[in-house]
Chain A
Protein backbone atom coordinates (compact mmCIF):
# COMPACT_ATOMS: atom_id res chain seq x y z
CA UNK A 1 0.00 0.00 0.00
CA UNK A 2 1.53 3.17 -1.15
CA UNK A 3 1.40 6.14 1.10
CA UNK A 4 -0.03 9.32 -0.21
CA UNK A 5 2.36 12.25 -0.27
CA UNK A 6 1.77 14.72 2.48
CA UNK A 7 0.26 17.81 1.00
CA UNK A 8 0.55 21.11 2.77
CA UNK A 9 -2.22 23.44 1.94
CA UNK A 10 -0.97 26.65 0.50
CA UNK A 11 -2.43 29.83 -0.83
CA UNK A 12 -5.72 31.48 -0.09
CA UNK A 13 -6.47 32.58 3.42
CA UNK A 14 -3.83 30.31 4.95
CA UNK A 15 -0.96 32.41 3.68
CA UNK A 16 -2.61 35.56 4.88
CA UNK A 17 -3.16 34.10 8.33
CA UNK A 18 0.43 32.87 8.52
CA UNK A 19 1.68 36.25 7.42
CA UNK A 20 -0.50 38.02 9.96
CA UNK A 21 0.55 35.68 12.76
CA UNK A 22 4.21 36.11 11.92
CA UNK A 23 3.89 39.86 11.97
CA UNK A 24 1.92 40.09 15.19
CA UNK A 25 3.62 41.50 18.22
CA UNK A 26 4.31 39.43 21.29
CA UNK A 27 1.34 38.61 23.54
CA UNK A 28 2.64 40.92 26.24
CA UNK A 29 2.75 43.82 23.83
CA UNK A 30 -0.71 43.02 22.52
CA UNK A 31 -2.11 42.90 26.04
CA UNK A 32 -0.45 46.22 26.80
CA UNK A 33 -1.92 47.69 23.64
CA UNK A 34 -5.36 46.38 24.58
CA UNK A 35 -5.05 47.95 28.02
CA UNK A 36 -4.04 51.22 26.40
CA UNK A 37 -7.14 51.11 24.21
CA UNK A 38 -9.26 50.55 27.31
CA UNK A 39 -7.64 53.48 29.10
CA UNK A 40 -8.16 55.78 26.14
CA UNK A 41 -11.75 54.70 25.53
CA UNK A 42 -12.79 54.83 29.18
CA UNK A 43 -10.68 57.84 30.18
CA UNK A 44 -13.76 59.75 31.44
CA UNK A 45 -14.34 57.19 34.20
CA UNK A 46 -10.79 57.20 35.54
CA UNK A 47 -10.92 58.09 39.25
CA UNK A 48 -10.07 61.61 40.24
CA UNK A 49 -7.38 60.39 42.64
CA UNK A 50 -5.42 58.89 39.76
CA UNK A 51 -5.77 62.09 37.78
CA UNK A 52 -4.61 64.19 40.71
CA UNK A 53 -1.56 61.97 41.12
CA UNK A 54 -0.82 62.16 37.39
CA UNK A 55 -1.05 65.93 37.59
CA UNK A 56 1.42 66.15 40.46
CA UNK A 57 5.14 66.69 39.96
CA UNK A 58 5.91 63.07 40.69
CA UNK A 59 3.12 61.86 38.40
CA UNK A 60 4.29 63.98 35.51
CA UNK A 61 7.86 62.79 35.93
CA UNK A 62 6.63 59.20 36.01
CA UNK A 63 4.41 59.81 33.00
CA UNK A 64 7.14 61.27 30.84
CA UNK A 65 9.53 58.53 31.92
CA UNK A 66 6.99 55.83 31.10
CA UNK A 67 6.24 57.33 27.69
CA UNK A 68 9.95 57.57 26.94
CA UNK A 69 10.59 54.04 28.17
CA UNK A 70 7.72 52.58 26.18
CA UNK A 71 8.87 54.40 23.06
CA UNK A 72 12.39 53.08 23.48
CA UNK A 73 11.39 49.50 24.27
CA UNK A 74 8.12 48.73 22.51
CA UNK A 75 8.38 51.15 19.62
CA UNK A 76 6.99 54.53 18.80
CA UNK A 77 3.48 53.28 17.97
CA UNK A 78 2.99 52.06 21.53
CA UNK A 79 4.74 55.19 22.75
CA UNK A 80 2.28 57.35 20.85
CA UNK A 81 -0.69 55.50 22.31
CA UNK A 82 0.85 55.74 25.79
CA UNK A 83 1.34 59.47 25.36
CA UNK A 84 -2.27 59.83 24.23
CA UNK A 85 -3.54 57.91 27.25
CA UNK A 86 -1.33 59.85 29.65
CA UNK A 87 -2.41 63.20 28.24
CA UNK A 88 -6.08 62.23 28.47
CA UNK A 89 -5.59 61.28 32.12
CA UNK A 90 -3.68 64.48 32.76
CA UNK A 91 -6.19 66.65 30.96
CA UNK A 92 -9.08 65.55 33.15
CA UNK A 93 -7.32 66.32 36.41
CA UNK A 94 -9.10 68.89 38.55
CA UNK A 95 -7.28 72.14 39.02
CA UNK A 96 -7.48 73.03 42.67
CA UNK A 97 -6.16 76.51 42.00
CA UNK A 98 -8.99 77.20 39.62
CA UNK A 99 -11.55 79.59 41.08
CA UNK A 100 -14.20 77.81 39.03
CA UNK A 101 -13.93 74.75 41.20
CA UNK A 102 -17.14 75.86 42.85
CA UNK A 103 -19.99 77.53 41.11
CA UNK A 104 -19.99 80.34 43.64
CA UNK A 105 -17.30 81.88 45.72
CA UNK A 106 -17.71 81.44 49.40
CA UNK A 107 -16.47 84.95 49.92
CA UNK A 108 -17.52 87.88 47.74
CA UNK A 109 -14.91 89.75 45.80
CA UNK A 110 -13.70 93.11 47.04
CA UNK A 111 -15.02 95.61 47.96
CA UNK A 112 -18.07 93.60 48.99
CA UNK A 113 -18.28 91.55 52.10
CA UNK A 114 -20.84 89.20 53.49
CA UNK A 115 -23.47 90.51 55.80
CA UNK A 116 -24.03 88.94 59.18
CA UNK A 117 -27.08 87.18 57.81
CA UNK A 118 -25.10 85.71 54.95
CA UNK A 119 -22.37 84.58 57.30
CA UNK A 120 -24.94 82.92 59.53
CA UNK A 121 -26.49 81.21 56.51
CA UNK A 122 -23.21 79.53 55.66
CA UNK A 123 -21.69 78.86 52.29
CA UNK A 124 -24.06 78.96 49.37
CA UNK A 125 -24.18 75.89 47.19
CA UNK A 126 -24.09 76.34 43.47
CA UNK A 127 -27.52 76.91 42.11
CA UNK A 128 -27.07 75.25 38.76
CA UNK A 129 -25.88 72.05 37.28
CA UNK A 130 -23.30 73.12 34.82
CA UNK A 131 -23.67 70.16 32.51
CA UNK A 132 -20.69 71.33 30.56
CA UNK A 133 -22.41 74.40 29.19
CA UNK A 134 -20.22 76.82 31.11
CA UNK A 135 -17.13 77.89 29.25
CA UNK A 136 -14.38 80.34 29.99
CA UNK A 137 -16.28 83.11 28.27
CA UNK A 138 -19.02 82.95 30.91
CA UNK A 139 -16.72 83.76 33.80
CA UNK A 140 -17.82 86.75 35.85
CA UNK A 141 -14.86 89.07 36.09
CA UNK A 142 -16.45 92.20 37.54
CA UNK A 143 -17.16 92.81 41.20
CA UNK A 144 -20.67 94.18 40.88
CA UNK A 145 -23.42 91.84 41.99
CA UNK A 146 -27.00 91.96 40.83
CA UNK A 147 -29.68 92.83 43.32
CA UNK A 148 -31.07 89.32 43.34
CA UNK A 149 -27.60 87.95 43.98
CA UNK A 150 -27.12 90.25 46.93
CA UNK A 151 -30.52 89.29 48.30
CA UNK A 152 -29.86 85.60 47.92
CA UNK A 153 -26.28 85.90 49.14
CA UNK A 154 -24.83 84.52 45.95
CA UNK A 155 -21.41 85.37 44.57
CA UNK A 156 -21.47 83.82 41.13
CA UNK A 157 -18.22 83.27 39.32
CA UNK A 158 -19.72 81.87 36.15
CA UNK A 159 -22.90 82.06 34.14
CA UNK A 160 -24.48 78.91 32.84
CA UNK A 161 -26.20 80.50 29.88
CA UNK A 162 -26.15 84.05 28.61
CA UNK A 163 -28.64 83.53 25.82
CA UNK A 164 -32.42 83.74 26.02
CA UNK A 165 -34.63 82.29 23.35
CA UNK A 166 -37.94 84.04 23.00
CA UNK A 167 -40.90 83.42 20.78
CA UNK A 168 -43.66 85.66 19.61
CA UNK A 169 -46.97 85.50 21.44
CA UNK A 170 -49.39 83.33 19.60
CA UNK A 171 -53.07 82.82 20.10
Chain B
Protein backbone atom coordinates (compact mmCIF):
# COMPACT_ATOMS: atom_id res chain seq x y z
CA UNK B 1 0.00 0.00 0.00
CA UNK B 2 2.80 2.34 0.90
CA UNK B 3 4.68 1.56 -2.28
CA UNK B 4 1.52 2.17 -4.29
CA UNK B 5 1.16 5.61 -2.70
CA UNK B 6 4.79 6.38 -3.46
CA UNK B 7 4.28 5.42 -7.06
CA UNK B 8 1.29 7.68 -7.27
CA UNK B 9 3.27 10.57 -5.86
CA UNK B 10 6.12 10.26 -8.30
CA UNK B 11 4.68 9.88 -11.77
CA UNK B 12 7.20 9.08 -14.45
CA UNK B 13 7.42 9.95 -18.09
CA UNK B 14 6.32 7.34 -20.60
CA UNK B 15 9.16 5.05 -21.49
CA UNK B 16 9.60 6.47 -24.97
CA UNK B 17 9.93 9.98 -23.59
CA UNK B 18 12.09 9.28 -20.58
CA UNK B 19 15.73 10.21 -20.56
CA UNK B 20 17.97 9.21 -17.71
CA UNK B 21 19.78 11.93 -15.91
CA UNK B 22 23.27 10.66 -16.66
CA UNK B 23 25.54 11.87 -19.43
CA UNK B 24 24.13 9.34 -21.88
CA UNK B 25 20.57 10.41 -21.29
CA UNK B 26 21.37 14.08 -21.44
CA UNK B 27 23.30 13.69 -24.69
CA UNK B 28 20.38 11.76 -26.19
CA UNK B 29 17.97 14.51 -25.20
CA UNK B 30 20.26 17.22 -26.55
CA UNK B 31 20.67 15.39 -29.85
CA UNK B 32 16.94 14.86 -30.18
CA UNK B 33 16.40 18.57 -29.59
CA UNK B 34 19.08 19.61 -32.08
CA UNK B 35 17.89 17.24 -34.81
CA UNK B 36 14.29 18.32 -34.27
CA UNK B 37 15.33 21.94 -34.65
CA UNK B 38 17.23 21.02 -37.83
CA UNK B 39 14.17 19.29 -39.28
CA UNK B 40 11.92 22.20 -38.40
CA UNK B 41 14.41 24.62 -39.93
CA UNK B 42 14.65 22.78 -43.24
CA UNK B 43 10.94 21.99 -43.42
CA UNK B 44 9.56 25.40 -42.60
CA UNK B 45 11.93 27.73 -44.42
CA UNK B 46 11.40 27.75 -48.16
CA UNK B 47 14.59 27.52 -50.22
CA UNK B 48 16.76 26.70 -47.25
CA UNK B 49 19.99 25.72 -48.94
CA UNK B 50 22.32 22.92 -48.03
CA UNK B 51 25.91 23.86 -47.50
CA UNK B 52 28.27 23.56 -50.43
CA UNK B 53 30.19 20.73 -48.79
CA UNK B 54 27.08 18.62 -48.35
CA UNK B 55 26.18 19.12 -52.00
CA UNK B 56 29.67 18.25 -53.23
CA UNK B 57 30.05 15.24 -50.97
CA UNK B 58 26.80 13.65 -52.15
CA UNK B 59 28.46 12.58 -55.39
CA UNK B 60 30.81 10.24 -53.60
CA UNK B 61 29.42 6.79 -52.73
CA UNK B 62 31.62 6.43 -49.65
CA UNK B 63 29.96 9.53 -48.21
CA UNK B 64 26.54 7.99 -48.66
CA UNK B 65 27.79 4.76 -47.09
CA UNK B 66 28.98 6.76 -44.09
CA UNK B 67 25.56 8.38 -43.85
CA UNK B 68 23.84 4.99 -43.79
CA UNK B 69 26.29 3.77 -41.17
CA UNK B 70 25.46 6.89 -39.17
CA UNK B 71 21.79 5.97 -39.39
CA UNK B 72 22.47 2.40 -38.27
CA UNK B 73 24.71 3.42 -35.40
CA UNK B 74 22.30 6.07 -34.18
CA UNK B 75 19.40 3.63 -34.38
CA UNK B 76 21.34 1.05 -32.37
CA UNK B 77 22.30 3.69 -29.81
CA UNK B 78 18.94 5.34 -29.26
CA UNK B 79 15.70 4.67 -31.17
CA UNK B 80 14.50 8.25 -30.82
CA UNK B 81 17.71 9.71 -32.16
CA UNK B 82 17.82 7.05 -34.88
CA UNK B 83 14.36 7.82 -36.19
CA UNK B 84 15.08 11.53 -36.37
CA UNK B 85 18.46 10.94 -38.03
CA UNK B 86 16.76 8.67 -40.55
CA UNK B 87 14.26 11.42 -41.30
CA UNK B 88 17.05 13.93 -41.85
CA UNK B 89 18.92 11.47 -44.07
CA UNK B 90 15.83 10.85 -46.16
CA UNK B 91 15.28 14.56 -46.71
CA UNK B 92 18.92 15.07 -47.60
CA UNK B 93 19.21 12.08 -49.95
CA UNK B 94 15.91 12.79 -51.69
CA UNK B 95 16.73 16.48 -52.10
CA UNK B 96 20.15 15.71 -53.53
CA UNK B 97 18.66 13.08 -55.81
CA UNK B 98 16.11 15.58 -57.09
CA UNK B 99 18.79 18.22 -57.48
CA UNK B 100 20.89 15.98 -59.69
CA UNK B 101 17.97 14.61 -61.72
CA UNK B 102 17.49 16.31 -65.08
CA UNK B 103 14.31 18.27 -65.21
CA UNK B 104 13.03 16.23 -68.10
CA UNK B 105 13.01 13.15 -65.87
CA UNK B 106 11.07 14.77 -63.05
Residue numbers of A with Cβ under 8 A of B are 33, 37, 40-44, 48, 76-77, 80-81, 84, 87-88, 91-92, 94-95, 98, 100-103, 126, 129-132, 134-135, 137, 158
Contact = CB atoms under 8 A, between A and B. Distances in A.
Interface in B39-63: 47, 61
Main secondary structure of the interface of A (DSSP, over half): helix
B65 A130 contact: no
B75 interface: yes
Main secondary structure of the interface of B (DSSP, over half): helix
Contacts of B81: none
11 contacts: A33-B72, A48-B105, A77-B72, A80-B83, A81-B71, A92-B97, A98-B106, A102-B104, A132-B100, A132-B101, A134-B103
B90 A132 contact: no
Contacts of B86: 80, 84
B103 A88 contact: no
A160 to B, nearest CB: 8
